[in-house]
Amino acid sequence: MVNGMLVDKTSDTTITCDPCVQAKHHREPFPQVSTTPIREIGELTVADVWGPARMETITGYCYAATYTDGKS
């Protein structure tokens, strides 16, 4: 409780402060190991994008993408 602060008790108390709500959001971290079994090649593909690189390639690209099959 704050002492010495005048509070208007007739003001609307149902106003939602969006930044306050967003700051309180929480998500559980992703698990380190998948619990879903991968039975066949091509069943799961994991993609990763890297960049931007400090220097572009000869053709002007500065990002790289890798694709890894979950069974490999």
Q: Sorting pLDDT into bands at 50, 70 and 90, what band is 10?
A: confident
Q: How far apart are CA 9 and CA 31, in angstroms?
A: 47
What is the pLDDT confidence band of residue 57, given thresholds at 50, 70 and 90?
A: very high
The reported pTM is 0.47
Please enumerate in sequence order all residues whose Cβ is within 8 A of that of 52, keeping only pairs 6 or more positions apart, or say none.
62, 63
Task: With H, G, I as helix, E, B as strand and everything else as coil, classify residue 18.
Answer: helix
Of residues 1 and 11, which shows the higher confidence score?
11
